[in-house]
A and B are shown apart, each in its own frame.
Chain A
């Protein structure tokens, strides 16, 4: 493939949105109440919409006879480039919110940079996505504060979720080969430039939520290079079942 680095770069961004959308989609009809259920499903659909734009672009530049559906549904697990954070399960509402908050904070900073990319398609997708992602971040950080600064029980559960998920935050800033090449070319975002800002901003909100900021020495990584946690296989099964069982089916 001629544009292999660009192709991989697009998937590195898009797969995060796809897998997180899938995780949130699992909650459809199972949210803690009607209002939050709809809010989470809206976020899921926002992310899925962004994913489609990225995959359509990736399919176009692949030079192969591919569609967005092939990219979304017909890769094997090792070919998905999402970070480990977004595939973590909906253990309880604190985890749903914690995962969302830790990802949204990163996602918004990424979109803010990506909108200035000389690649017009990527810039356009980022520009459109920024308003959605700003709202996601507002929603998730509000909830972190509510739960953290809520009752003793909600505080304990929110803290538990942050402690569990913190382990996966460092990987957000791990740069794959494609990301390095594209950052050098000026088309992609050098994500290392906002790592410090990310931890500062996230820590500030955690403190406001009366939560303590974890002090991990070790972090997990691998997802961005296709080495996923044990949860990924189950996500694949859910996500791909229809296309694998009834190839080329449409709704």
Chain B
């Protein structure tokens, strides 16, 4: 019954210009994908913000657990050599 009463949540991704990527704009409720698209059009692109919309039902998104943030993200903190800027390029290499 709860399923029927409350529309599921959808995550909305909008491409603001051709050539750019779709970016997460927010979330909204809708009964199905078609309605989610129409709602997204009205809620997020009414001020000319977009040229394309993706909708994904929120339950299909698998998120990392903040509890695991230590093991997930902290090891990357002290590995500056993973940035290309860590390396000195010889002057002969141009346009990098």
Interface residue ranges, A against B (CB under 8 Å) = 33-36, 38-39, 42, 135, 138-139, 142, 146
Question: 7 A-B pairs, CB-CB below 8 angstroms?
Answer: A35-B28, A38-B42, A38-B43, A38-B46, A42-B42, A139-B38, A142-B38
Contact of B34 with A35 in the complex, beta carbons under 8 Å: no
The smallest C-beta distance from B48 to any residue of chain A, in angstroms, reads 12
- Main secondary structure on chain A at its contact with chain B? helix
Contact of B30 with A35 in the complex, beta carbons under 8 Å: yes
Instruction: List, in ascending order, chain A residues with CB within 8 A of B42's CB.
Output: 35, 38-39, 42
Contact of B46 with A35 in the complex, beta carbons under 8 Å: no
Per the bound structure, the CA–CA distance linking A33 and B7 in Å amounts to 10
**Which has the most chain B C-beta neighbours within 10 Å: A33, A35, A139?**
A35
Judge if B72 is at the interface, Cβ distance under 8 Å.
Answer: no
Contact of B46 with A33 in the complex, beta carbons under 8 Å: no
Interface hits, B4-47 → A, CB 8 Å = 7, 28-31, 34-35, 38-39, 41-43, 46
The smallest C-beta distance from A131 to any residue of chain B, in angstroms, reads 12
Per the bound structure, the CA–CA distance linking A142 and B51 in Å amounts to 22
Instruction: List, in ascending order, chain A residues with CB within 8 A of B28's CB.
Output: 34-35
Per the bound structure, the CA–CA distance linking A42 and B43 in Å amounts to 9
